[in-house]
Amino acid sequence: MKTKSSLGKRRERAGLAFAAPSMLILTVFVFIPLIVAFIFSFFKFDMMFNNFEFLNFYNYIKLFRDGRFWGALWNTVYYTVCTVPLNIGLALIAAVLVKRQSWFSSFCKSVFFIPAVCSLTVISIVWSFLINKDIGIFSYWLQSLGFHTVDLLNSPIWAMPTVILVGLWKNFGFYMVILLAGLNGIDESYYEAADMDGASGFQKFWRITLPMLMPTLSFTIVNCMIGSFQVFDQVYIMTKGGPLFKTQTLVQLIYNTAFESFDMGYASTIAVALFIITFTVSVLTFKHLTRDEDSLA
Amino acid sequence: MKRRILSAGLVLVLLLTTFLSGCSSKEEGTKEKSEDSGSEKTVITFWNGFTGSDKETLEALVDEYNQTNDKNIEVEMSIMPWDSLYQKLSTVLSVKEGPDMVAMATERIGTYAEPGAFVDVSDAYTTGIINESAVPEALKENLKYDDEYYGVPMNFATLLLYYNKTIFEEAGLDPESPPVNWEELEQDAQQIVDNTDYYGFDMAVKETTPMWCIMLWGNGGDIIENGKAVFNSEENVETITRWAENIRDKKFGPEVLTGGEIDKLFESQKLGMYFCGPWAAGGFENAGINFGVVQAPEGPAQQVTQANAVGMYMTSSSEQKEAVYDFFGWWNSEETQIKWSLGTGFPPARTDLEDDERLAENPYIEEFSKPANESQMYLQKLTNFSEIDNQVIIPAFEKILLEDADVKTTLDEANKQIEALIE
């Protein structure tokens, strides 16, 4: 009995030792900044971190009355609501299609995955050039076919859908690979049993694949959602939040407030708001999805 | 067991020291023993955003300074995009880890001088390191904050009208008589649009050196005058209505362009005329474009253009004032300014070199130097320049050009926002 408990303790310690490095990184780069941002959100101070002025809840009141914040929140929600279903849907379809073992599937897998390993900055610049109304190759082709082209990134209506599509092109391959791993983890015997019972392809997908894939799916959905809430690079490169703030997302607003207006206090307030929103939505989604998983299984 | 805990602890300590050393590597302002002479070598760091065609000339000049200065000073220069520069600066200056010197556009002085991130360098002028009488008039006032000099000249440029001679010919215009006033500019642009597949004339709205202000000033308007917002003046409403109609309705060019996009449009020979500075001339020449440059067309009120300047500043992180001043003086010497001018096409940042024969080698320098004393600079002496420009003025132009918004209402609204921001 005694040996068992000391073994348990040893394992516990070993576990802690293994977790320590990442805990240290998390503490230095996530927890401490989080706490500091929260403290900053109650102050006003200048670029040199001088002249600290305690503002109480002033920044939070300002936030609720700030049209730019609500605009950015709306844009972020718009981006997320479009991106998550499109990304996961496309990734799931692609994963199911390329699951078979053939040279063509392997080829497709690589092709879909390549954008995911490319730098988002490079991709954003390349796409901006490709779709440019005057010098872009896509516009050139469309125009030679007689189509009228639009200056997508400078159009208040089309700028956001364009940014969303570029993000989709870049990211769905990554989620496809994760879902593929999930799919490969489902035991073939379930399908064999279903075949013997005469289940249709759709029934197999709905009754076996989807429930068995739920843990992976929940992970990808939550992951994709957090990523969407924090979208920045591609917006920053492609539109700088314009035209007319139509693509200004929350992180972009935080960036502008911090590095253009040098109002670190208010920028921290927006960051805290973003954290609360992302955290709440992620927890709710994850709970909801895993509950579904329980009921389906 | 103990050994395991010990080794885990060691790993932790190792990681921690790596982090901390990574966080606190101080690169600047160090003195090190020079290998050959054994005397103290002073290293000063210099950040700037000259990533364009002027980069090579700048690097060559800094190399030359490092090799020839007699005080054993070494300038360690980092060139990065302006965006990254501003972002990095704001994080390092507050912890006194910034570079010794930094270069940036003069309209940003207030932003950094006010919180004490840049230091007063008036004594560089009083001690004669910088010859005050040779600094261009338009630049002099704008190197100051609160009546004290916070910067010294790095470069000075004016915008001229670039026009594509090939497109002029194709449109049936005389390539040797470019437009000299607004009416001619409108006629020529219209003729290009009517007779060819190209755009006639355009002005970039965002991420650019300001172009629309040339029109505002040409008609006697301004954005901020004597500390008051005057963006919604009658003159401005008239100017913006006229040129928005030209660009948007008469299709002189795409409505909203960035500086990069408009350069590309001219470089790919799809745009007949636009305003740009001396930095573009070399690139267009290399691209084999047959173009000319001419003074900005005269407006109803006056002939004027936009001047812009990059200043050099000493940051509060620096403890190497002597070395920094030495570089300031060397950079603004006649010799260096002529080399910089010849290498980049920028007019020299001093007015006493206009007739220097050596400058005749580059035909553009003379043309770009001409308006040195009649030009105006955009939105200077503010502490929140980029906020006013990016959050108010640019969106106002976008609203008018993209959404056909009423000019008067849009400018009234923008004027109120500017008033609130300059309070």
Q: How much of chain A exceeds pLDDT 70, in percent?
A: 96
Q: Stretch B57-61: mean pLDDT, rounded?
A: 94
pLDDT band at B34 (very low <50, low <70, confident <90, very high): very low
Q: Using a CB-CB distance cutoff of 8 angstroms, which residues of chain B are in contact with residue A14?
A: 4
Phi, psi of B78 (to 5 degrees): -120, 120
CA dihedral B87, B90, B93, B99 (to 10 degrees): 20
Residues A53 and A277: beta-carbon distance below 8 Å? no
User: Does A81 map to a domain?
Assistant: yes
User: Does A42 map to a domain?
Assistant: no
- Least confident range from B6-10, B120-124, B149-153, B330-334: namely B6-10
Q: B248 pLDDT exceeds 60? A: yes
Q: Using a CB-CB distance cutoff of 8 angstroms, which residues of chain A are in contact with residue B384?
A: 261
Interface test with A, best of B5, B11, B94 (most A CBs within 10 A): B94
What is the C-alpha to C-alpha distance for residues B266 and B255, in angstroms, rounded to an integer? 15
How does the average pLDDT of chain A come out, rounded? 90
- Pick from B381, B395, B414: nearest CA to B142: B381
Closest residue of B to A262, CA-based? B90
Contact between A256 and B402 using a beta-carbon 8 Å cutoff:
no
Q: Stretch A268-280: mean pLDDT, rounded?
A: 95
Contact between B254 and A154 using a beta-carbon 8 Å cutoff:
yes
User: What would the pLDDT profile of B384-405 be if each residue is shown by its tens digit?
Assistant: 888 899 999 999 999 999 999 9
Got the DSSP string for A231-284?
--HHHHHHTTT-STTTT--HHHHHHHHHHTS--HHHHHHHHHHHHHHHHHHHHH
Closest residue of B to A51, CA-based? B115
Residues B80 and B88: beta-carbon distance below 8 Å? yes
Contact between B12 and A242 using a beta-carbon 8 Å cutoff:
no
User: What would the pLDDT profile of B353-367 be if each residue is shown by its tens digit?
Assistant: 877 888 888 888 888
User: What would the pLDDT profile of A171-183 be if each residue is shown by its tens digit?
Assistant: 999 999 999 999 9
User: What would the pLDDT profile of A2-55 be if each residue is shown by its tens digit?
Assistant: 555 777 888 889 999 999 999 999 999 999 999 999 999 999 998 888 889 999
Q: Using a CB-CB distance cutoff of 8 angstroms, which residues of chain A are in contact with residue B270?
A: 134-135
The residue to which tokens 């289940």 are assigned: A199
Q: For residue B254, give the nearest of A151, A259, A261 by CB distance.
A: A151
Own/partner pairs for B348-357, CB < 8 Å, 24+ apart?
A: B348/B156, B349/B135, B349/B136, B349/B139, B349/B153, B349/B154, B349/B155, B349/B156, B349/B309, B350/B131, B350/B134, B350/B135, B350/B136, B350/B153, B351/B134, B351/B135, B351/B136, B351/B137, B352/B131, B352/B133, B352/B134
What is the pLDDT, as a whole number, of residue B384?
87
Q: For residue B111, give the nearest of A155, A242, A262 by CB distance.
A: A262
CA dihedral B17, B18, B19, B24 (to 10 degrees): 80
Contact between A47 and B207 using a beta-carbon 8 Å cutoff:
no
Contact between A21 and B206 using a beta-carbon 8 Å cutoff:
no
User: Does A190 map to a domain?
Assistant: yes
For B297, which DSSP code? P
- Pick from B290, B297, B345, B294: nearest CA to B162: B294
Q: Using a CB-CB distance cutoff of 8 angstroms, which residues of chain A are in contact with residue B255?
A: 151, 154
Contact between A240 and B5 using a beta-carbon 8 Å cutoff:
no
In order of their start, the domains of chain B are 31-158+309-369 (3.40.190.10), 160-304+384-422 (3.40.190.10)
Q: Using a CB-CB distance cutoff of 8 angstroms, which residues of chain A are in contact with residue B257?
A: 154
- Domain boundaries, position A217: 62-296
Q: Using a CB-CB distance cutoff of 8 angstroms, which residues of chain A are in contact with residue B1?
A: 10
Q: Tell me the one-letter amino acid at B411.
A: L
Q: B36 pLDDT exceeds 70? A: no
Contact between A50 and B19 using a beta-carbon 8 Å cutoff:
no
Residues B372 and B308: beta-carbon distance below 8 Å? no
Q: Stretch B111-120: mean pLDDT, rounded?
A: 93
Contact between A134 and B11 using a beta-carbon 8 Å cutoff:
no
pLDDT band at B23 (very low <50, low <70, confident <90, very high): very low
Smallest CA–CA distance, residue B94 to chain A, in Å, is: 4
Domains contained in chain A, number:
1
Q: Using a CB-CB distance cutoff of 8 angstroms, which residues of chain B are in contact with residue A260?
A: 386-387, 390
Smallest CA–CA distance, residue A49 to chain B, in Å, is: 6
What is the C-alpha to C-alpha distance for residues B352 and B355, in angstroms, rounded to an integer? 8
What is the pLDDT, as a whole number, of residue B26?
44
Question: Is the link from the previous residue into B178 a cis peptide, with omega within 30 of 0?
Answer: no
User: Does A12 map to a domain?
Assistant: no
Residues B98 and B334: beta-carbon distance below 8 Å? no
User: Does A143 map to a domain?
Assistant: yes
Strand duo A43-44 + B306-314: pairing: unpaired
Closest residue of B to A45, CA-based? B115
* Helix, strand, coil percentages, rounded to 5, for chain B: 50, 20, 35
Closest residue of B to A46, CA-based? B115
User: What would the pLDDT profile of A221-246 be if each residue is shown by its tens digit?
Assistant: 999 999 999 999 889 999 988 899 99
Closest residue of B to A154, CA-based? B256
What is the pLDDT, as a whole number, of residue B1?
52
Residues A231 and A223: beta-carbon distance below 8 Å? no
Q: Stretch A80-96: mean pLDDT, rounded?
A: 94
Contact between A260 and B390 using a beta-carbon 8 Å cutoff:
yes
What is the pLDDT, as a whole number, of residue B365?
87
Compute the half-sphere exposure of residue B117: CA atoms within 13 Å on the CB side of its CA: 26
If one compares B292 and B17, the residue with the highest pLDDT of the two is B292
Q: A292 pLDDT exceeds 70? A: no
CATH code where residue A176 lies? 1.10.3720.10
Q: For residue B115, give the nearest of A20, A50, A256 by CB distance.
A: A50
User: What would the pLDDT profile of B269-281 be if each residue is shown by its tens digit?
Assistant: 999 999 999 888 8
User: What would the pLDDT profile of A102-141 be if each residue is shown by its tens digit?
Assistant: 888 889 889 999 999 999 889 999 999 999 888 889 988 9
What is the pLDDT, as a whole number, of residue A190?
92
What is the C-alpha to C-alpha distance for residues B298 and A261, in angstroms, rounded to an integer? 35
Smallest CA–CA distance, residue B19 to chain A, in Å, is: 9
How does the average pLDDT of chain B come out, rounded? 89
CA dihedral A171, A173, A175, A180 (to 10 degrees): 180
User: What would the pLDDT profile of B324-350 be if each residue is shown by its tens digit?
Assistant: 999 999 999 999 999 999 888 888 888
Interface test with A, best of B20, B402, B417 (most A CBs within 10 A): B402
What is the pLDDT, as a whole number, of residue B12?
52
User: Does A106 map to a domain?
Assistant: yes
What is the C-alpha to C-alpha distance for residues A161 and A182, in angstroms, rounded to an integer? 30
Contact between B87 and A259 using a beta-carbon 8 Å cutoff:
yes
For B52, which DSSP code? S
Q: B93 pLDDT exceeds 80? A: yes
User: Does A111 map to a domain?
Assistant: yes
Compute the half-sphere exposure of residue B207: CA atoms within 13 Å on the CB side of its CA: 20
Q: Stretch B296-312: mean pLDDT, rounded?
A: 94
Q: A184 pLDDT exceeds 70? A: yes
Interface test with A, best of B271, B387, B400 (most A CBs within 10 A): B387
What is the C-alpha to C-alpha distance for residues B26 and B320, in angstroms, rounded to an integer? 14
User: Does A86 map to a domain?
Assistant: yes
- Residues of B in CB contact (< 8 Å) with A are 1, 4-5, 8, 11-12, 15-16, 19, 86-87, 90, 93-95, 111-112, 114-117, 206-207, 254-257, 261, 264-265, 268, 270, 316, 384, 386-387, 390-391, 394-395, 398-399, 402-403
What is the C-alpha to C-alpha distance for residues B216 and B208, in angstroms, rounded to an integer? 16
What is the pLDDT, as a whole number, of residue A81?
96
Q: B16 pLDDT exceeds 70? A: no
Q: Using a CB-CB distance cutoff of 8 angstroms, which residues of chain A are in contact with residue B206?
A: 240, 242
What count of CB pairs under 8 Å joins A to B? 93
For residue B341, how many other CB atoms are within 10 A of its CB? 28
**What pTM did the predictor assign?**
0.85
What is the pLDDT, as a whole number, of residue B24?
45
What is the pLDDT, as a whole number, of residue A161?
96
- Residues of A in CB contact (< 8 Å) with B are 10, 13-14, 17, 20-21, 24, 28, 46-51, 132-135, 151, 154-156, 240, 242-245, 256, 258-262
What is the pLDDT, as a whole number, of residue B6?
53
pLDDT band at A164 (very low <50, low <70, confident <90, very high): very high
What is the pLDDT, as a whole number, of residue A4?
56
